[in-house]
C-alpha cells in the first residue's frame, strides 16, 4: 500500500508544466513549477515544515506551544497545517490588503487571526510585523516564526525545490524566474541551481512600491520607492535576511494591473487557476524575453491557488473598481 503517514507527507514533488499560449512568442521552452499541488495549495508549505522542524530541534518550540507569524496568508496556511497535525496553537497576523478568502481559510484551519493596517511603516506598533512580535512577547510558551529573517525558509528550498527543478529538467534549466517576497524561494532555489551550474540565471519579479529592484542595482534602500500596492505575496518595504542579493542576477518589475490581468489570462488561456503573484511571474518572464535563446529552458514558479482571490482578481466588479478591466 502506498500512503502518507499524515498530510505533511504530501508536501513537495510538485509537477513541472509546459506553458503553451502566453509564451508562444518566446524562443525558449517555459516550464511552470506548479506549487498549488502542495496540500496547503502554495509553495509556503515547504518552508513551514522546515521552520517548525528546526524550531523543535533547537528547543524554541515546545509541546503545546503557540506558533505566531505575520503572513500574507500562504505561510500562515502552511504553518496551520503543521500546527493541526502536531498539536500546536496558531496565531496569524495579516495585513488588511490581503483577500477575505485568505483570512477565512486561516480561521477555517483553526488559526486565530489579527488583521492590521497595510499603510503603516514596518516599525509602527500597528504593523503586522510589530503586532506579531508583540504577541510573541506577551503570550507564554509561544514562538515567533519571522519567515523574513528565519533562514530555515531558504534552507527548505535549497533542500527540496531546487533539487526537484534540477532533476525534473535533467539539469537543462538555464533560467529560474520567481516573484520575491520573503526571499526564501529565490535564494534557496538559486543557491542550489548555481551550485550545480553557475551559469544558470536567477531572476526576481518585483512590484512597483517595493524596494528590491533598486536596492539590487544600486545598493541604496530608497524609501521613496515604497508606496502601497495591490499585488499580494511579492515585494517588500524591508530587506529580509532571506533575500540573498548575491545569488540574484536581476529583477524586473510588474505593475499591479499587469499582474491582475495576466492572472486571469493564465486561467482562461492556459487552464491554470492561480494566485495574484502568478500573473506577475509570467508577465515578468515575458518582459525578460531578450534574455532567452532558442535552446534555453526557463522555469517559472507559481506560488499559490486562485481560490484565494475569487473576491478580487476573479471578480469583475473589483477589477473594474481598480481600473484593471474596461
Q: Pick the last residue of a domain from 144, 170, 188.
A: 144
What's the half-sphere exposure (Cβ side, CA atoms, 13 Å) at 113? 24
Residues 166, 192 within the same domain: yes
Tell me, yes or no, whether 149 lies in a domain: no
Measure the CA angle with vertex 300, ends 237 and 223; round to 5°: 15
Burial 48-76 (b: 16+ CB within 10 A, else e): bbbbbbbbbeeeebeeebbbbbbbbbbbb
Measure the CA angle with vertex 14, ends 187 and 53; round to 5°: 60
Residues 132, 197 within the same domain: no
CB 262 within 8 A of CB 279: yes
DSSP letter at 42?
Answer: B
Tell me, yes or no, whether 153 lies in a domain: no
pLDDT at 198 over 90: yes
Q: Which backbone phi and psi does 74 adopt, to 5 degrees?
A: -75, -40
Distance, CA of 78 to CA of 67 (rounded, Å): 12
Distance, CA of 240 to CA of 243 (rounded, Å): 6
Q: Which of 18, 33, 44, 241 is catalytic?
A: 44
pLDDT tens track for 200-250: 999 999 999 999 999 999 999 999 999 999 999 999 999 999 999 999 999
Q: What's the pLDDT score for residue 120?
A: 85
Q: Pick the last residue of a domain from 114, 144, 174.
A: 144
CATH number, residue 119: 3.40.50.1100
Any idea which residue has 533547537 for its cell? Answer: 58
Residues 175, 294 within the same domain: yes
Q: What is the mean pLDDT of residues 291-296?
A: 97
Q: Pick the last residue of a domain from 90, 115, 144.
A: 144
Tell me, yes or no, whether 211 lies in a domain: yes
How high is the mean pLDDT of the chain?
96
Please name the residue ranges forming H helices in the chain: 44-57, 74-86, 100-108, 128-138, 152-156, 162-168, 184-196, 212-218, 256-270, 276-287, 316-322
Distance, CA of 280 to CA of 276 (rounded, Å): 7
Tell me, yes or no, whether 325 lies in a domain: no
pLDDT at 113 over 90: yes
- Domain containing 181: what range? 7-37+158-319
CB 47 within 8 A of CB 40: no
Tell me, yes or no, whether 101 lies in a domain: yes
Residues 204, 279 within the same domain: yes
Tell me, yes or no, whether 256 lies in a domain: yes
CB 258 within 8 A of CB 279: yes
Q: What's the pLDDT score for residue 119?
A: 83
Any idea which residue has 484565494 for its cell? Answer: 308
Q: What's the pLDDT score for residue 58?
A: 97
Residues 93, 201 within the same domain: no
Tell me, yes or no, whether 324 lies in a domain: no
Residues 99, 237 within the same domain: no
Q: What's the pLDDT score for residue 71?
A: 86
Residues 67, 23 within the same domain: no
Q: Could you tell me how many residues make up the chain? A: 326
- Parallel/antiparallel/unpaired status of strands 16-18 and 29-34: antiparallel
Tell me, yes or no, whether 182 lies in a domain: yes
Q: What's the pLDDT score for residue 129?
A: 87
Residues 54, 120 within the same domain: yes
Q: What's the pLDDT score for residue 128?
A: 87
Residues 172, 24 within the same domain: yes
Rounded to an integer, what is the distance from CA 142 to the centroid of its chain?
24
Task: Answer yes or no: 44 catalytic.
Answer: yes
Residue 97 pLDDT class (50, 70, 90 cuts)? confident
pLDDT tens track for 141-160: 999 999 999 999 999 999 99
Measure the CA angle with vertex 211, ends 227 and 35; round to 5°: 100
Residues 170, 296 within the same domain: yes
Distance, CA of 25 to CA of 87 (rounded, Å): 50
pLDDT tens track for 121-142: 888 889 888 999 999 999 999 9
How many domains are contained in the chain?
A: 2
pLDDT tens track for 52-61: 999 999 999 9
Residues 57, 32 within the same domain: no
Any idea which residue has 490581468 for its cell? Answer: 261
Residues 31, 50 within the same domain: no
Q: In what order do the strands lie in the sheet with 142-144?
A: 112-116, 89-95, 66-71, 142-144
pLDDT at 118 over 90: no
Amino acid at each position: 500500500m502506498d500512503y502518507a503517514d499524515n498530510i505533511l507527507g504530501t508536501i513537495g514533488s510538485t509537477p513541472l508544466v509546459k506553458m503553451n499560449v502566453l509564451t508562444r512568442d518566446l524562443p525558449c521552452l517555459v516550464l511552470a513549477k506548479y506549487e498549488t499541488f502542495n496540500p496547503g495549495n502554495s509553495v509556503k508549505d515547504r518552508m513551514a515544515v522546515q521552520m517548525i522542524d528546526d524550531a523543535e530541534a533547537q528547543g524554541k518550540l515546545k509541546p503545546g506551544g503557540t506558533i505566531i507569524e505575520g503572513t500574507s496568508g500562504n505561510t500562515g496556511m502552511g504553518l496551520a497545517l503543521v500546527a493541526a497535525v502536531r498539536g500546536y496553537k496558531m496565531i496569524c497576523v495579516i495585513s488588511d490588503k490581503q483577500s477575505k478568502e485568505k483570512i477565512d481559510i486561516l480561521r477555517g484551519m483553526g488559526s486565530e487571526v489579527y488583521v492590521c493596517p497595510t499603510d503603516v511603516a514596518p516599525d509602527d506598533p500597528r504593523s503586522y510585523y510589530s503586532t506579531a512580535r508583540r504577541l510573541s512577547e506577551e503570550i507564554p510558551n509561544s514562538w515567533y516564526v519571522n519567515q523574513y529573517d528565519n533562514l530555515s525558509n531558504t534552507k527548505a528550498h535549497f533542500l527540496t525545490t531546487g533539487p526537484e527543478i534540477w532533476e525534473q529538467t535533467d539539469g537543462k534549466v538555464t533560467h529560474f524566474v520567481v516573484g520575491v517576497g520573503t526571499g526564501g524561494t529565490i535564494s534557496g532555489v538559486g543557491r542550489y541551481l548555481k551550485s550545480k551550474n553557475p551559469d544558470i540565471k536567477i531572476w526576481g519579479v518585483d512590484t512597483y512600491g517595493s524596494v528590491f529592484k533598486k536596492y539590487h542595482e544600486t545598493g541604496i534602500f530608497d524609501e521613496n520607492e515604497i508606496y502601497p500596492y495591490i499585488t499580494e505575496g511579492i515585494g517588500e518595504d524591508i530587506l529580509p535576511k532571506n533575500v540573498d542579493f548575491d545569488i540574484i542576477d536581476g529583477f524586473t518589475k510588474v505593475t499591479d494591473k499587469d499582474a491582475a490581468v495576466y492572472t486571469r489570462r493564465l486561467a482562461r488561456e492556459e487552464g491554470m487557476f492561480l494566485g495574484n503573484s502568478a500573473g506577475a511571474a509570467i508577465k515578468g518572464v515575458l518582459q525578460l524575453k531578450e534574455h532567452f535563446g532558442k535552446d534555453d529552458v526557463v522555469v517559472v514558479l507559481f506560488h499559490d491557488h486562485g481560490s484565494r482571490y475569487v473576491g478580487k482578481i476573479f471578480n469583475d466588479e473589483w477589477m473594474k473598481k481598480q481600473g484593471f478591466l474596461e
